[in-house]
Amino acid sequence: MSTFTIDLPDRLLPGIQAVVARHNADNGSALTVEGWLTRHVAEVAAHDELLAEQQRLTKQAQDDLEAALKAVRERLVGEQGR
């Protein structure tokens, strides 16, 4: 695992702490500023992979929906033909 050290002006720390506190409250988590920064950078780095997976899952869900609707249509139309 790579390790990086960043320098941040002291004046920015309260703002980042507020963002982390909001994130923790919204997500039921207890990240520190360092933990939040690490997670945020990892999310940015994985953005393209996440988008590709979202597209794959969207297509899979659409295909599943179409197959389910086709089955319902066939069942309903089949019942009408009896």
Measured distance CA(74)–CA(82) in Å, rounded: 13
**Same domain flag for 39 and 65:** no
**Same domain flag for 38 and 66:** no
pLDDT at 82 > cutoff 70: no
Domain count across the chain: 2
**Same domain flag for 29 and 14:** yes
**Same domain flag for 41 and 3:** yes
- Which residues constitute the domain of residue 60? 47-82
pLDDT of 27-51, one tens digit each?
Answer: 999 999 999 999 999 999 999 999 9
What is the pTM for the complete model shown? 0.65
> Residue 37 contacts by C-beta under 8 Å, 6 or more apart in sequence?
6, 16
**Same domain flag for 1 and 33:** yes
Measured distance CA(23)–CA(40) in Å, rounded: 11
**Same domain flag for 35 and 1:** yes
